[in-house]
A and B are shown apart, each in its own frame.
Chain A
Amino acid sequence: MAAQVDGLYFFLVAVSAFFTLLIFLTVFIFAVKYRQEAHPNPEHIEGSLPLELTWTLIPLGICMIFFAWGALIYFQEARPPRGSMEVYAVAKQWMWKFEHESGQREINALHIPVGRDIKMIMSSQDVIHSFYVPAFRIKADVLPGRYTSTWFHPTKTGTYHLFCAEYCGTQHSGMIGEVVVMTPAAYQSWLASGGATPTMAANGKELFTQLGCATCHRADTQGRGPTLAGVFGKPVQLEDGRTVMADENYIRESILNPQAKIVAGFKPIMPTFQGQVTEESLGALVSYVKSLSQPQQKAEGGAPQPIAANESN
């Protein structure tokens, strides 16, 4: 992907350099050739419709090429492939907190295996931040109040800068981390080195019981709330007639602001958990609900997700 971005970038550089030189040279040549001393009598030319059309339509055409190429890249960047490994990120002033689905947590460093598709699911605890890895040519703002996501596919092992790219206050320029891309073997040993940690989904399951979710959201259809098995990744019919996709943001909103979307056939009785759950807990709960849609969930295999968490606004 990064190579594609570079391809388009240098194509833009080439075309721009061409036109810049063209204008610079033309202006220079005209300025010298037609200077007053050499050309005292100006020729009064009104204009030329063919010329105007030419230099309107040709740049327009070139721009459409730029547009299409750039759009193609952007489209791909918005569609993480199935089977991507998911990493949750919580940004806060002024650090990055990462959590792998297998349960490992890191601060300001992100260890990932080379050659895998990695999808970041991110939210902020406070202000808007932005997850930027120049080496991968990707960037996505990290917002408070909802998830945004981006994905990448590292092709070379190494350590790369991670920057926060949205001004966020005092230590904005200190919110730097590193992305450590390792061989699969090295990654496995890194995973093992931290000691056994419960997976995010397991944490989520525990929270699910602790917070009382299981009382209404039962495995059978007898609960006061809809069952959550098989919900993630599919459309949901709402009470007001709308249909929405049950993605990460839907789950998150249902926990924090349940009245916003009521599932058809149910009453608006779910209490809000705002203030009772941290970003990390939310991530765990989302991970758990996702796992309920897998035939067999394995912590690290990554759940196939049919949609990007990038919802519209």
Chain B
Amino acid sequence: MATAVQTAERQTYLNNGYSLKSWLLTKDHKRIAILYLISITGMFFVGGFFAMLIRLELLTPAGDLVSSDTYNKLFSMHGIAMVFFFLIPSVPAVLGNFVIPLMVGAKDLAFPRINLLSWYLYMFGALFALVSMISGGVDTGWTFYTPFSTTYSNTHVVGTALGVFIAGFSSIFTGLNFIVTIHRMRAPGLTWTRLPLFCWSNYAASIIMVLGTPVIAITILLVALERLLHIGVFNPALGGDPLLFQHLFWFYSHPAVYIMILPGMGVISEVVTCFSRKRVFGYEFVALASIAIAVLGFLVWAHHMFVAGISVYAALVFSLLSYLVAIPSAVKVFNWTATLFKGSIRYDTPMLYAFGFIGLFTIGGLTGVFLASLGVDVHVTDTYFVVAHFHYVMVGGMVLAYLAGLHFWWPKMTGKLYPEGWAKLSALLVFVGFNLTFFPQFILGYMGMPRRYHAYPPEFQVLNVLSTAGASVLAVGYVLPMIYFMWSLRYGEDAGPNPWNAVGLEWMTPSPPPTHNFDETPVVTWEAYDYEHPPQEVLVGH
């Protein structure tokens, strides 16, 4: 393996200024991606800390570790930190920010200053949320249902709501930036049908970010106003309608889960093609499936409300549509599997995470089909079945995809390779730990254990203990990458521009890239994932 000689003179985005100011006032999408990486990792461990306390409490049926109020705050803050401050920004703001301009052959995103603003808004929102958490917490659940959140809760609802509100604008601006960049800043020759699927996925997710986030922004603002001024928009005691809150809330929060998973799916497309050394099977179908998920995702929100008091006819419509949105996801899974057929498969760490993703997302998605079924949903909604379902798609799916992407693009971002042995071990620990944590929860839910329960009847204990055991394994699997990634920065082998021999514009520039990305604007003459006739420059560095 050739090691590119890194002379002190080669300018990269990392050594282009070392001052704090050069980082905090940067307009470079790559530096902003690193800033996001640090912040969302921090919020991930905040959310993880709360998760740890939850699982410890649930070892025993009695509520004996923390008080009920504290427990309620724990699951609320776990959800808020993870959903709004980790899952939604993770792949787009870290990997998307870093890679998309490179993938389209541009110098930067369309609006670099808005990109920086986006990060500051995220930090500002996170600050509000963290301050609320530290000064007493919030106990409404991440779903803020009224009238509990507007009238009955005695915790820092307004502070947290404002944090989420501000962070929402971070998401909107990121999405806006991506859409304009992908439309307008593609290199010559890079037609839509030559775009890497990572771009298609982020584009679809960005549509959702842009259209959906404002709705939760206004909804959460109304909750804050209602709490402060005692107006009665959602409070039945004052003539308001608590179901209106639910409709408005879920109108965003359901598409939000597609904001989370679509970019992750984009990562999987990149990884599966690279480590099978062939083009993705059915490229157009995978691309269109992303758009279909984005569009259909807006039409299914009330499947969170089947027992909430909506009319039977509304429920029927939303159930039907929910099945429709499952189909494009299934199509993608089939296409990735077919991509493996007659490929030449390598077992590098990103690929192991991709395998894990395909399996776990399948289970998560299929259990979504359970929930779309009205008769079954009545029994299992608001139980641990739902908790298991969404952790399968969000952790087994999304987090695994994020880790896959991190491991895939780490050499590009840092110019360093991580220790492969430790990385594979972590992937295994994550996979095993994850399944042990969450599979028992499907059974718990079917048996009837409701969610958000501090104490539970003793017959549920065995499964809860299994779940907590799994969580401890999972935690190790999460901490190890922190350690070896940090280690790699100092002691890792130099990566070279294309350690994976992948096809894609981002691999045709040095690792780490210079601030301006490409010395000359590339001209694209090849199809996406053209492993059959890879462009000559790809072979550099290996």
Q: Which of A49-57, A200-208, A216-224, A227-235 contacts B (4 or more CB under 8 A)?
A: A49-57
Within A90-123, the residues touching B (CB, 8 Å) are 93
Distance, CA A144 to CA B72, complexed state (A): 21
Q: Which of B126-134, B167-175, B177-185, B451-459 contacts A (4 or more CB under 8 A)?
A: B451-459
Q: Does B187 make an interface contact (CB < 8 A)?
A: no
Q: List, in ascending order, chain A residues with CB within 8 A of B358's CB.
A: 23, 27
B327 to chain A minimum Cβ distance, whole angstroms, is: 6
- Alpha-carbon gap, A134 to B335, bound state (A): 39
Partner of B148, one of A63, A64, A128: A128
Interface stretch among B82-90, B277-285, B491-499?
A: B277-285
Q: A19-B366, A173-B63 are in contact. Are A70 and B374 (CB under 8 A)?
A: yes
For B336-368 the 0/1 string (1 means CB < 8 A from A) is 011011111111000000010011001100110
Contact call A59/B346, Cβ cutoff below 8 A: no
| Complex contact B285–A145 (CB within 8 A) | no
Ordered by A's residue number, 7 sampled pairs between the chains whose C-beta atoms are within 8 Å are A42-B276, A46-B279, A56-B330, A93-B152, A143-B236, A146-B236, A313-B309
Q: Which residues of B contact A39 (CB under 8 A)?
A: 342-345
Residues facing B in A133-189 (CB within 8 A) are 134-135, 137-141, 143-146, 148, 161, 163-174, 176
Q: A138–B378 contact, CB under 8 A?
A: yes
Query: Quick check: A170 and B72 within 8 Å, CB to CB?
Result: yes
CB neighbours (8 Å) of B310 from chain A are 312-313
In the assembled complex, A277 has its CB within 8 A of some CB on chain B? no
Residues of A in contact with B, size category: 35 or more
Chain A residues within 8 Å of B343, by CB: 30, 34, 39, 42-43
| Residues of chain A within 8 A of B335, CB atoms compared | 47, 52
Which of A5-13, A81-89, A236-244, A287-295 makes up part of the contact surface?
A: A5-13
Q: Within the complex, which residue of B236, B338, B340, B375 is in contact with A31, where a contact is CB–CB below 8 Å? A: B340
* Distance between Cα atoms of A162 and B140 in the complex (Å): 23
**Binary interface encoding of chain A residues 233-259 relative to chain B, with 1 for a CB under 8 A from any of its CBs, else 0:** 000000000000000000000000100
A140 nearest in chain B by CB position? B307
CB-CB < 8 A to A52: which residues of B? 282, 285, 331, 335
A63 touches B236 (CB 8 A): no
Q: Which of B306, B312, B333, B363 has the most CB of A within 10 A?
A: B312
B270 at the interface (CB under 8 A from A): no
Which A residue's beta carbon lies closest to that of B530? A44
Q: How far is the CB of B109 from chain A (nearest CB, A)?
A: 31
B148 x A167 contact (CB < 8 A)? yes
Interface size class of B (residues with CB under 8 A): 35 or more
A140 to B316, CA, bound (A): 16
In the complex, A209 has a CB within 8 A of chain B: no
Contact of B455 among A36, A67, A126, A174 (CB under 8 A): A174
Q: Contact at A67–B319, with CB atoms within 8 Å?
A: yes
Contact with B along A59-91 (1 / 0, CB 8 A): 110011011011111110110000000000000
Q: Does any Cβ of A come within 8 Å of B147's Cβ?
A: yes
Q: Report whether B309 and A143 are in contact in the complex, using a CB–CB cutoff of 8 Å.
A: yes
User: Shortest beta-carbon distance, B519 to chain A, in Å?
Assistant: 31
The smallest C-beta distance from B331 to any residue of chain A, in angstroms, reads: 6
Q: Answer yes or no: B334 CB below 8 A from chain A CBs.
A: yes
Known: A144-B236, A174-B68, A310-B312. A130 touches B307 (CB 8 A): yes
Contact flag A34-B340 (CB < 8 Å), given A16-B366, A47-B283, A163-B448? yes
In chain A, what residue has the closest Cβ to B354?
A27
Known A42-B278, A145-B242: A4·B367 in contact at CB below 8 Å: no
A44 to B327, CA, bound (A): 26
Is A297 an interface residue when CB atoms closer than 8 A count as contact?
Answer: no
Chain A residues in 8 Å Cβ range of B312? 74-75, 78, 310
Residues of A contacting B236 in the complex (Cβ-Cβ under 8 angstroms)? 143-146
Q: What 0/1 pattern do residues 150 to 165 of B give for CB contact below 8 A with A?
A: 0111000000000000
Of all A-B residue pairs in the complex, the 7 with the closest CB atoms, nearest first, are: A134-B448, A145-B236, A73-B375, A312-B311, A70-B373, A74-B374, A47-B282
Q: Are A138 and B323 in contact (CB under 8 A)?
A: no
Does residue B218 face the partner (Cβ distance < 8 Å to A)?
no
Q: Which residues of A contact B331 (CB under 8 A)?
A: 52, 55-56
The majority secondary structure among interface residues of chain B is helix
- A31 cross-chain contacts in B, Cβ below 8 A: 340, 345, 347, 355
Residue of A63, A132, A167, A310 near B311 (CB, 8 A) is: A310
B226 to chain A, nearest CB (A): 14
Name B346's closest neighbour in chain A (CB-CB): A36
Given A16-B366, A46-B282, A132-B382; 7 other pairs, CB 8 A cutoff? A34-B343, A35-B345, A63-B327, A134-B448, A141-B308, A170-B68, A311-B311
Residue from the list A40, A72, A172 in contact with B72, Cβ < 8 A: A172
Asked whether any CB of chain B lies closer than 8 Å to the CB of A48, the reply is yes
Least Cβ–Cβ distance between B221 and chain A, in angstroms: 21
Other-chain contact of A172, B276, B285, B319, B454 (Cβ < 8 Å)? B454
C-alpha gap A20/B285 in the complex (Å): 21
A35–B382 alpha-carbon span in the complex (Å) = 43
Distance in angstroms between the alpha carbons of A171 and B237 in the assembled complex:
22
Q: Which residue of A lies closest to B247 (CB)?
A: A313
The contact of A167 among B69, B145, B327, by CB within 8 Å, is B145
Give A26 to B319 CA distance when docked, in angstroms: 30
- Asked whether B326 is an interface residue with its Cβ less than 8 Å from the other chain, the reply is yes
A56-B327, A70-B319, A139-B381 given as contacts; is B148 within 8 A of A43 (CB)? no
CB nearest to B72 among chain A residues:
A170
Q: Is the CB of A71 within 8 A of B278?
A: no
Query: Given that A55-B331, A173-B454 are contacting pairs, would A128 and B375 also be in contact in the complex, using a CB cutoff of 8 Å?
Result: no
Report whether A12 and B376 are in contact in the complex, using a CB–CB cutoff of 8 Å.
Answer: yes
B422 neighbours in A (Cβ, 8 Å) = none
A74's partner among B285, B375, B532 (CB-CB below 8 A) is: B375
Closest to A26 in B: B337
A23 touching B340, Cβ below 8 Å:
no
Complex interface: chain A residues within 8 A of B345 (CB): 30-31, 34-36, 39
A-contact bits for B233-257, CB 8 A (1 contact / 0 none): 0001101011100000000000000
Residues from chain B with Cβ under 8 Å of A73 in the complex: 374-375, 378
Q: How far is B377's CA from A73's CA once the two chains are assembled, in angstroms?
A: 11
Complex interface: chain A residues within 8 A of B281 (CB):
45-48
Q: Is B112 an interface residue (CB 8 A)?
A: no
> Are B323 and A63 in contact (CB-based, < 8 A)?
yes
CB of B428 to closest CB in A, whole Å? 15
Decide: A44 and B370 in contact? CB cutoff 8 A.
Answer: no
A residues in contact with B320, CB < 8 Å:
67
Q: Mark B311-332, 1 if CB is under 8 A from A, else 0.
A: 1111110011001101100110
Q: CB distance B378 to A167 under 8 Å?
A: no
Q: Is B323's CB under 8 angstroms from A66's CB?
A: yes
Is the beta-carbon distance between B340 and A48 smaller than 8 angstroms?
Answer: no
**Which residue of chain A has the shortest Cβ distance to B340 in the bound complex?**
A30
Residues of A within 8 A of B239 (CB): 257
Q: Give 1 or 0 for each of B379-394: 1 = CB within 8 Å of chain A CB.
A: 1011100000000000
Q: Is residue B267 contacting chain A, with contact meaning CB distance below 8 A?
A: no
What distance in Å separates the Cβ of B344 from its nearest Cβ neighbour in chain A? 4
- With contact pairs A52-B331, A137-B379, A257-B239 given, residues A127 and B68 touching in the complex (Cβ less than 8 Å): no
Could you say which of B236, B375, B450 has the most chain A C-beta atoms within 10 Å of its C-beta? B375
Chain B residues with CB under 8 Å of A193's CB are none
